[in-house]
Amino acid sequence: MDEIETKVLEWLRNGNDTAQDIVDLPWSVKEVQPNTYVAEHPRMPFSLMVMFSEGFIHLIVPLGLETFSMTKEDKLRVYHTLLRLNDQVHMMKFTLAGMNDDVYLRVDLDKKTLGKDEFNDALTALLIGLLSSVSALGLEEAFAQEVFDRIVGMVVERMQKGASREELMRFLTVKVGMPVEDAKTLLDQVFEAKRSMGGEEPDVGYF
Q: What is the pTM of this model?
A: 0.81
Strand order across the beta sheet in which 28-33 lies:
28-33, 36-40, 48-52, 56-66, 102-110, 93-97
pLDDT digit string, tens, across residues 85-124: 998 888 899 999 999 999 999 999 999 999 999 999 999 9
Check residue 175 and give its pLDDT. Answer: 85
120: number of Cβ within 10 Å = 15
Do 49 and 61 form a contact (C-beta atoms < 8 A)? yes
Do 168 and 154 form a contact (C-beta atoms < 8 A)? no
Q: pLDDT tens, position by position, for the chain (207 residues)?
A: 789 999 999 999 998 988 889 999 999 999 999 999 999 999 899 999 999 999 999 999 999 899 999 999 999 999 999 999 998 888 899 999 999 999 999 999 999 999 999 999 999 999 999 999 999 999 898 888 888 888 888 898 888 889 999 999 999 998 888 889 999 999 998 888 878 766 554 443 433
